[in-house]
Amino acid sequence: MTIRAAPIQPRDLREVFRLSRERLARLLGVSAKTVERWEAKPTRPARDDIRMRMAQLREIAELGAAVYTREGLADFLDAPLSEWGGLTALQLIERGQADRVLASLAADYEGSGF
């Protein structure tokens, strides 16, 4: 038996990350109109790379909430960190480097931190 995770809803991601449709669209590499359509009629994105990015965002949201609380996650996402050359987590995600954000959260979760 295969257990499938619940579909990722863009509106949920926007709420957790406190993003506009436009900013979520940039993170996913789609138009704001596409995000609006997904929210109006929940459908699964056709492209694998977009589904992967959405899954990464959900993983960041879940791990970030466990490490910092939901409110603390918002601060983490917007804080420029010297380890990332003064970039924020959201800027890294937008540049396709969500794995660095996940690594940082995992280190904080394990207690080693950056």
Q: Which domain holds residue 39?
A: 10-110
Model confidence pLDDT, tens digit, residues 17-67: 999 999 999 999 999 999 999 999 877 788 899 989 999 999 999 999 999
State the residue for tokens 């960190």: 81
User: Would you say 95 and 86 are in contact if contact means Cβ atoms under 8 Å apart?
Assistant: no
Beta-strand runs (E) in the chain: none
Secondary structure class of 38 (helix, strand, coil): helix
**pTM as predicted:** 0.84
- Asked if residue 3 is part of any domain, the answer here is no
- Asked if residue 5 is part of any domain, the answer here is no
- Asked if residue 77 is part of any domain, the answer here is yes
In the chain, the number of structural domains is 1
User: Would you say 94 and 105 are in contact if contact means Cβ atoms under 8 Å apart?
Assistant: no
